[in-house]
Structures are given as structure tokens and as C-alpha cells.
Amino acid sequence: MKNKQPLFGPSSVSDRFYAEGGKSTVDAMPWVAALGLDAFEYSFGRGVNLGEETARAIGAAALANKITLSVHGPYYINLNNTTPEKIATNLEWFKKACTAAQWMGADRIVFHPGSGRGDREGAQAVAEKNLLYFLGILRDEGLMEGISLCPETMGKKNQLGNLEEVLALCLLDKAVLPCIDFGHLHAAEQGAIETDEAAYDVLDKMEKTLGKTRCRDFHMHFSPIEFGNAGEIRHRKFGEGYGPDFLPVARAVKAKAWTPRILCESQGTQADDAVEMKAIWEELKN
């Protein structure tokens, strides 16, 4: 069923949850819902080390609190590999992430496309070949049921994952959905997302490439980003003076009448900043 409004939530558990006595991700689901949020992204960034019992408990708590779940795959994933051993290792990371996502009832797996050093076009070609290979095996093993893989736009110039590269990966298969990180785009392009027009242009390129139907409920990451000449340095918090600003992005989404799933990746304040983003959206809507 299509969302009538964008979904908002934090990526991982924020510092305030623990400061208020929170202990587990299971307990975080009602806490997130009490803030008026309706999405949550669980991170497997350092590896998939979650047991089935705990994963199912998280999923049950999310369902009970009307929280839509996604997961972030291991940061180690790199589609730009040509050696059989490394390809096999990357496939295993995808398998584990898909298995845990299914236990939890999460329907999207965000991942970083990998290294873009050297021959950029060659790296993209290798990444596309490997992703198609992985998709075939994941489907054969029943691990893609109800799952979309979401390659993320990246914030460093030496990483695969500019907007065009992510959209090209999405063209390979309808089970591949873009994760557009506006903070990363802003950092990689040296402060590019500062106006309504710049944000709208990103969405317009998506629509022209993938079509409105696939873009309507796309996956979004958002946070302010500190950057230098090479791109992203670190994620920051709202109110620290770093861009991009969410308002131009919100206006662009509203102009398209799209309903993305918006996960906040602010450093430590992701839940509070997600609440602020939702408030900005509600003000625009009204």
C-alpha cells in the first residue's frame, strides 16, 4: 500500500534514548512512536550480528507501534570487486543482511556501492555486473521476497555513488530502489543543495530516469554534513551551521507530491532532528 504522506524517523538509536534510560532497540520502537515518528533504520554497518529471536522481537515491537523498518547493510560492501574471494564475501554480507531483514520485517536494505578509485566507468561496470549476479542468487535462495536493495548516494568523491551512478544501478532491476542522501550529495558536490531548484533537479533527474511510480516512495537519508575538498568529513546536527537545509528538499518533495521514507542520520540527535523535519513538512502541508 502506498504511503499518503512521507514517513520520518531516525537511523539507529539516538543519544537521548539512552540518556532517558532506554536499553534495547526493542524498547526504542515505542519511544520513537511517542515522538510522532513512523520509520526506523537498523544499522548492520559493522556487520550482521543480530540473532533471529532479537530480530523478530524488534520486528514485533515495530509492528505494534506502526514503525516501518529498513536496515543499513555492512559498510564493508564494495560492488567494485573482481576477485572471486571478495565477490563471495560481499555476497555473504548481502545474504546475512537479507536474512536478518526478513526476520525483522524490514523491506529495504541500504548499502554503499563501493570504491570509485581509478577508472570510474570501469568501476561502475564491475559494480553493475556484481549487483546483477548477487540479485540472481538472492532470488534463487528466497532472500529477496518483500525486499528492495537501496544503493546510497555517497559523500566522498572517490566513492561510487553519485546520482547518475546510483540511478544506473536502479535501472538494472525493479527490486533496486534509490537511497538519496541529500547531505552526501551536498558534500560531494561542494555545497550544491542550497536552493529549491537544486533539490528539485535531483528529483527531476530521478523521475526522468526511473519514472514517477518508482520514485514516489523513494528512500531518503538526510543530515547536515561537514565537508572539505574531497567531500564528506562527518555528519553533524541540526543547528550547528552546516548544510544542507531541509526546507528546500521538503519543498521539492511537496512540489512532486511524493511520499518518501525519510531517515535522519544526524550525529546523535537523529530522532530529535527527524521530529524537526516532520514539523517542517507539516507546516508546508498546512
CATH code: domain of residue 176: 3.20.20.150
Is residue 154, in this structure, part of any structural domain at all? yes
CB of 174 closer than 8 Å to CB of 200: no
Is residue 211, in this structure, part of any structural domain at all? yes
pLDDT the model gives residue 182? 98
Whole-angstrom CA distances from 45 to 73, 93, 109, 188 are: 6, 11, 11, 21
The three cell numbers locating residue 213: 511510480
Local structure of 217: helix, strand or coil: coil
pLDDT tens digits, 187-221: 999 999 999 999 999 999 999 999 999 999 999 99
pLDDT the model gives residue 49? 93
Is residue 1, in this structure, part of any structural domain at all? no
Residue 158, domain extent? 7-268
90 pLDDT tier (thresholds 50, 70, 90) = very high
Beta strand extents in 60-134 (DSSP E only): 68-72, 108-111, 114-115
**Which whole number is the average pLDDT over 62-69?**
98
**Which whole number is the average pLDDT over 228-254?**
97
Is residue 117, in this structure, part of any structural domain at all? yes
* The pLDDT of residue 50 is above 80: yes
Is residue 282, in this structure, part of any structural domain at all? no
Is residue 275, in this structure, part of any structural domain at all? no
Instruction: Give the pairing of strands 261-264 and 231-235.
Output: unpaired
CB of 212 closer than 8 Å to CB of 257: no
Is residue 83, in this structure, part of any structural domain at all? yes
Verdict on whether the full-model pTM lies above 0.95 = yes
Domains in the chain, number: 1
Distance of CA 132 to the CA centre of its chain: 20
CB of 163 closer than 8 Å to CB of 202: yes
* The pLDDT of residue 1 is above 70: no
